[in-house]
Chains A and B, each alone.
Chain A
Amino acid sequence: MVEPVTFVVWLIVLPLAWAVAAFVTGERIGAWLGVVGSAIQTFLVVWMVATWDVAVPVIHRVGGWGAPLGIDLAVDGLALAMLLLTQVVSLPLTIYARSYFSEDASKSRHFWPLAGFLIAGLNALFVSADVFNIYVTLEIVGLSAVSLVAIGGGRAQISAALRYLFATLIGSGAYLLGVALIYGAFGSVSLATLIPLVGSNPPQAFALAGLLMLFGLMLKTALFPFHYWLPPAHGGAAAPVSALLSALVVKASFYLTLRLWTELFASIADDIAWIPALLGAGAILWGSWRAIQAIRIKMLIAYSTVAQLGYLFLVFPLLPGQDAIRATVMQACAHGAAKAAMFAAAGVLIKATGQDTMAGLAGMTGRLPLTLFAFGLAGMTLMGLPPSSGFLAKWQLIEAGMARDLWIIPVVALAGGLLTAVYIFRILSFAFLLSPSSVKIATVPRVQEWTAFALAAGSVLLGLRGVELMALLPGQVP
């Protein structure tokens, strides 16, 4: 009997395989390979979650070599939760993308190989057990994400991709210098070896390494004020690409920030925990404000991502409390599903109206009710209305903040929820209140509407099954 946890290798090999095969066979077969591959990956990860019953990380030695010469893969509850999110979000998106790109062969020829590399990189990143392998996977994710932004081929997209490329390269450069300092100080890159070595009074080079690595990761996560590259890249890319980037790619570097913060850098993290929290609060206010002012639909959603990423960092003064980790993982999953749904729905609306403006939505409720319903459901999750998973995440966040008498966290979280409601209702008001324009509406394949709806419904229904997701993480489930 094969241990289900060894499936993790297949989660990396499969997307690599279909990416290469899609490159060779072309867009038509490639699209099917992507959809079928994602379905198998989803099946494998669900099986892994269903049979998961260990509290300690499971180590897989690739090729039987083992650290320090070989590469170890470590699966724990947190990694498994992120693997689950990645597969569950990317499966509907591949189905959506197959239909979305069907008329435009020149774009989809590059989409499928790059999407495969991206997903393989993400899956490998979540289970990497040493800081250097993390660097390599970060670069795989970063380079394929930048290339995905550029496949649209427009001038704005190329400029956005270049800006994104330089941001991500500076981020990984800072991270790599941190790795060099850590190796110089301790002679190892394995997390399992380093954590006991660091102790409570680490050398100064280690603190410097920590600052460099965390800065690099926060730049890659687009934490305010390092978000400057995100809105043009996410708002300008093709809809399936925007969805993958906003839902998953920024979560990958956030996952690393969280993991390194609570494990490797725990000894230096306490003193600087207020910095990410402060920047997170700034992100919520500034991102929401820019979203409220946006004219283009996808720009609004991109600034909403900037704001929602802020919530992820709000919990940092509460770490390493298990309740804080649960709150932020819940927020990552809620935002992942909801934001994928929102970009997918926006893609449908833009295709139908032929324009990426709010004014173009006039009277669309009668014409594309399912897509607008999906948009509304995803908005509900972002606002944090019950019973959505967004509600559960914000509830846990507020509870964790109040338990430690940090009142500022609930206040910012609630203010952010209100601001989110303003920009969601603003976009819906265009669709509901304005009378239909005489512009001709293009027909959009129903499968695109339904996949957007499935993601949105998933983000709400996750709120009802949150306990199962949280059970993956260590600590007592309330």
Chain B
Amino acid sequence: MSSELLFAVVGALIFTLGVAGTVLVANLLRRILAFNLMGSGAFLVLVGLAQRGGESDPVPHAMVLTGIVVAVAATALALALLRKQHEMKDSEEELTEIDDG
């Protein structure tokens, strides 16, 4: 197995784990962590697949840096919302209420 393929397969595996966590886990903080795992998986595929004969390609590195910035912003927003929700507590009732509306 070439190193590109190894990176890509591991990246895809991490991504899948992350998606499963984001969708299936009930605890919101863990879901936020799982989302970050998902992002890391995609970054690994991006950097790992793009090697050309053992030489690494700088363009995806720049893309991953951009992606990390986006992921940090998204995580910050998610954490802010989570804290706000925690302060209010028991929001689940309300959520089911609007679902029925």
Known: A68-B59, A156-B94, A184-B50. A170 touches B81 (CB 8 A): no
Question: Are the C-beta atoms of B85 and A155 separated by less than 8 Å?
Answer: yes
Contacts of B55 in A (CB 8 A): none
User: Could you tell me which residues of chain B, from 41 to 84, have a CB within 8 Å of some CB in chain A?
Assistant: 41-43, 45-46, 49-50, 52, 57, 59-60, 63, 66-67, 70, 73-74, 77-78, 81-82, 84
Question: Are the C-beta atoms of B46 and A179 separated by less than 8 Å?
Answer: yes
**What is the distance, in angstroms, from A301's C-beta to the closest C-beta of chain B?**
12
1/0 per residue, CB under 8 A from B, across A169-181: the answer is 1100110110111
Complexed CA–CA distance, A136 and B63 (Å) = 10
Which one, A97-105, A139-147, A390-398, is touching chain B?
A: A139-147
**What is the distance, in angstroms, from B99's C-beta to the closest C-beta of chain A?**
7
User: Could you tell me which residues of chain B, from 1 to 30, have a CB within 8 Å of some CB in chain A?
Assistant: 4, 8, 11-12, 15, 18-19, 22-23, 28
Question: Are the C-beta atoms of B84 and A158 separated by less than 8 Å?
Answer: yes
Question: Are the C-beta atoms of B42 and A236 separated by less than 8 Å?
Answer: no
Task: Choose among B70, B77, B94 the residue that contacts A147 (Cβ–Cβ < 8 A).
Answer: B77
Question: Are the C-beta atoms of B94 and A235 separated by less than 8 Å?
Answer: no
Known: A132-B63, A143-B74. A160 touches B45 (CB 8 A): no
Task: Choose among B11, B57, B84, B95 the residue that contacts A187 (Cβ–Cβ < 8 A).
Answer: B57
Question: Are the C-beta atoms of A232 and B19 separated by less than 8 Å?
Answer: no
Question: Are the C-beta atoms of A187 and B101 separated by less than 8 Å?
Answer: no
**What is the distance, in angstroms, from A83's C-beta to the closest C-beta of chain B?**
23
Complexed CA–CA distance, A139 and B35 (Å) = 14
Contacts of B52 in A (CB 8 A): 187
Question: Are the C-beta atoms of B22 and A166 separated by less than 8 Å?
Answer: yes
Which one, A87-95, A292-300, A327-335, A340-348, is touching chain B?
A: A292-300
Question: Are the C-beta atoms of B101 and A299 separated by less than 8 Å?
Answer: yes
Closest to A356 in B: B101
Interface residue tally on A, bucketed by range: 35 or more
Known: A146-B77, A160-B98. A177 touches B15 (CB 8 A): yes
**What is the distance, in angstroms, from B78's C-beta to the closest C-beta of chain A?**
6
**What is the distance, in angstroms, from B53's C-beta to the closest C-beta of chain A?**
12
Question: Are the C-beta atoms of B15 and A159 separated by less than 8 Å?
Answer: no
Complexed CA–CA distance, A176 and B67 (Å) = 9
**What is the distance, in angstroms, from A129's C-beta to the closest C-beta of chain B?**
15
Closest to B87 in A: A158
User: Could you tell me which residues of chain A, from 278 to 332, have a CB within 8 Å of some CB in chain B?
Assistant: 294-296, 299
Contacts of B77 in A (CB 8 A): 143, 146-147, 165
Task: Choose among B18, B74, B101 the residue that contacts A139 (Cβ–Cβ < 8 A).
Answer: B74
Complexed CA–CA distance, A169 and B4 (Å) = 26
1/0 per residue, CB under 8 A from A, across B84-95: the answer is 110010111011
Complexed CA–CA distance, A165 and B28 (Å) = 12
Closest to A168 in B: B74
1/0 per residue, CB under 8 A from B, across A195-239: the answer is 000000000000000000000000000000000000110011000
Chain A residues touching B, majority SS: helix
A359 within 8 A of B: no
Task: Choose among A156, A158, A183, A236 the residue that contacts B46 (Cβ–Cβ < 8 A).
Answer: A183
Question: Are the C-beta atoms of B101 and A235 separated by less than 8 Å?
Answer: yes
Question: Are the C-beta atoms of B49 and A183 separated by less than 8 Å?
Answer: yes
Q: Total number of A-B contacts with CB less than 8 angstroms?
A: 123
**What is the distance, in angstroms, from B27's C-beta to the closest C-beta of chain A?**
12
Task: Choose among B31, B85, B94, B95 the residue that contacts A166 (Cβ–Cβ < 8 A).
Answer: B31
A161 within 8 A of B: yes
Contacts of A147 in B (CB 8 A): 77
Contacts of A156 in B (CB 8 A): 91, 94-95, 97-98
Question: Are the C-beta atoms of A296 and B35 separated by less than 8 Å?
Answer: no
Question: Are the C-beta atoms of B101 and A180 separated by less than 8 Å?
Answer: no
Known: A136-B70, A159-B85, A166-B22. A184 touches B45 (CB 8 A): yes
Complexed CA–CA distance, A48 and B8 (Å) = 44
User: Could you tell me which residues of chain A, from 39 to 64, have a CB within 8 Å of some CB in chain B?
Assistant: none
Question: Are the C-beta atoms of A177 and B45 separated by less than 8 Å?
Answer: yes
Question: Are the C-beta atoms of A165 and B78 separated by less than 8 Å?
Answer: yes
Question: Are the C-beta atoms of A162 and B78 separated by less than 8 Å?
Answer: yes
Complexed CA–CA distance, A165 and B19 (Å) = 14
Question: Are the C-beta atoms of B78 and A173 separated by less than 8 Å?
Answer: no
Contacts of B42 in A (CB 8 A): 173, 176-177, 180
**What is the distance, in angstroms, from A34's C-beta to the closest C-beta of chain B?**
21
A470 within 8 A of B: no
Complexed CA–CA distance, A173 and B45 (Å) = 12
Question: Are the C-beta atoms of A150 and B84 separated by less than 8 Å?
Answer: yes
**What is the distance, in angstroms, from A53's C-beta to the closest C-beta of chain B?**
36
Contacts of A299 in B (CB 8 A): 98, 101
User: By CB atoms of chain A within 10 A, which of B38, B39, B74, B97 has the most?
Assistant: B74
10 further interface pairs, Cβ-Cβ under 8 Å (given A174-B19, A294-B101): A132-B63, A155-B88, A155-B94, A158-B91, A162-B81, A177-B41, A177-B42, A180-B43, A180-B46, A183-B50
**Contact sample, A vs B, 17 pairs, CB 8 Å cutoff:** A139-B74, A143-B73, A143-B77, A146-B77, A155-B85, A158-B85, A160-B95, A161-B81, A162-B78, A162-B82, A170-B23, A173-B18, A176-B67, A180-B45, A181-B49, A187-B57, A232-B98
Counting from the closest, the 4 A-B pairs by CB-CB distance are A184-B49, A180-B46, A180-B45, A299-B101
